[in-house]
Structure 1
């Protein structure tokens, strides 16, 4: 079999509903690597939030922060930071609505508020050990690849209208949206890695379950939506596998012929 490039989302794909790595998924990925395939994570998370997962899976390649930071064999090959000027405008707009923001790069995350209940609830859902750093001015001087905007769904249209030419917004939690540079997506980051490694479209696969996976699943020829994904996500993929809790990764890899037994 020709060498393949396989992307896996993390939450709801590699990690189950309890943020645990399924044993069957771990064994399946080990088999892919033994067969010489390139395995990569493709996630909205920042690297410091998922490094233990990659170490457990022996993966050194990832597309993180929804495509804004791409690493191959532990070396960054693509970085797409947000504009400090645009972040300043967003900060003022959100402050007028009392909507908190977290600024994220590959090493840490910086909050512009302290002890906000919605921020705490969303961050706790990720089950990450690294605590938030309070630094409301970080966006003015530090590199930011993604922001987390804490706003209710009914306020989303206000942000789209105000920043349509500058930013992308993707909801990842009932309290929060990811904020990306205009045109940014997992699909765009994946394209950077595909071009870097010179893989043909026929040899690229992707697994995902969330709204931020839709463009990735639409752009990758051999795309697999998890059984726990919404109908909108499933409709964007070529294949639909079982729920993550029901050995969805292993089943999906068998569906697409990457694992035989």
Structure 2
């Protein structure tokens, strides 16, 4: 297959546990681009969380916020925000359960509780700046994703309450909240439609549960060796771990570099 675009998740895929991009990954992506194949970031992170990584890799296109906000070479090609009435229900339920929220807009993000330990724990794991404090941010700006800070033991409190929202755990103390129908796959499809590239000519790398739809949708879905066990059945190929040359190995295996 003549692949034209390769999408890359960030955490656990492009970066290792120390949030650094391994040198073999840097070299492999440079070679991929030199071969005329576009590299695009596809992540649950917001754009302001991965700018240094994108610049380090020379990548200027991305599908961010789990598919809700996609940009191709500086041009916004897709937006899918959460309706305010759904956010209002989430705010009320989280307050009842004493769970903090972080609201992610396209340009910045804010928490509705100052220094909640679960928020501090999860955001610190991303090695990014902490959010500002503005409990009303969701009423003033478009929100594409929310961090809900709760442990797995409390997930049942939100089951079957929000039919229009989807919750996906990404940290022991945090879940992504996104609109139903939102996924990296949806953002990818919107970008490819803009570029007039068939989905069959794309590949993607991922490691987390929020990568399931992406790996199922692209022409070639590749799971990292360190992937969540429940993701691997949805991949066409499982490579080695992020810190064991996983990206470079798979790109060579399929003749992309």
- Normalization by structure 1: what TM-score? 0.96
Which whole-Å deviations, capped at 9, do the CAs of 1:64-108 have from their partners, x for residues lacking one?
000000000011111111111110111001100001000001211
Aligned residue pairs total 257
After TM superposition, the structure 1 stretch with the greater mean CA deviation from structure 2, 155-164 or 200-209, is: 155-164
Residue of structure 2 equivalent to 1:252:
250
Which whole-Å deviations, capped at 9, do the CAs of 1:48-76 have from their partners, x for residues lacking one?
01001101111110000000000000111
Q: Where does 1:60-139 land on structure 2 (aligned, <5 Å)?
A: 60-128=60-128, 130-139=129-138
2:43 aligned with 1:37, yes or no?
A: no
Contact 1:46/1:104 (8 A) holds in 2: yes
2:37 aligned with 1:24, yes or no?
A: no
Contact 1:3/1:36 (8 A) holds in 2: no
Aligned counterparts of 2:179 and 2:104: Cα–Cα separation in 1:
13
Aligned counterparts of 2:95 and 2:226: Cα–Cα separation in 1:
35
List alignment gaps of at least 5 residues for structure 1. Answer: none
Question: Which secondary structure does the structure 1 equivalent of 2:156 belong to?
Answer: helix
2:5 aligned with 1:5, yes or no?
A: yes
Which whole-Å deviations, capped at 9, do the CAs of 1:183-210 have from their partners, x for residues lacking one?
1011111111121111123310000000
Question: Which secondary structure does the structure 2 equivalent of 1:27 belong to?
Answer: helix
Which whole-Å deviations, capped at 9, do the CAs of 1:125-182 have from their partners, x for residues lacking one?
0001x33110001111111110000012132233231102x10111010001001011
Contact 1:63/1:190 (8 A) holds in 2: yes
Residue of structure 2 equivalent to 1:157:
156
List alignment gaps of at least 5 residues for structure 2. Answer: none
Deviation of the 1:18 alpha carbon: 1.1
Question: Which secondary structure does the structure 2 equivalent of 1:102 belong to?
Answer: strand
Question: Which secondary structure does the structure 2 equivalent of 1:183 belong to?
Answer: coil
Aligned counterparts of 1:182 and 1:202: Cα–Cα separation in 2:
25
Contact 2:205/2:223 (8 A) holds in 1: yes
Residue of structure 2 equivalent to 1:147:
146
Q: Where does 1:175-254 land on structure 2 (aligned, <5 Å)?
A: 175-254=173-252
Aligned counterparts of 1:138 and 1:239: Cα–Cα separation in 2:
41
- Normalization by structure 2: what TM-score? 0.97
Aligned counterparts of 1:61 and 1:254: Cα–Cα separation in 2:
23
CA-based RMSD of the aligned residues comes to 1.2
Q: Hey, which bits of structure 1, 4+ residues long, moved more than 6 A?
A: none
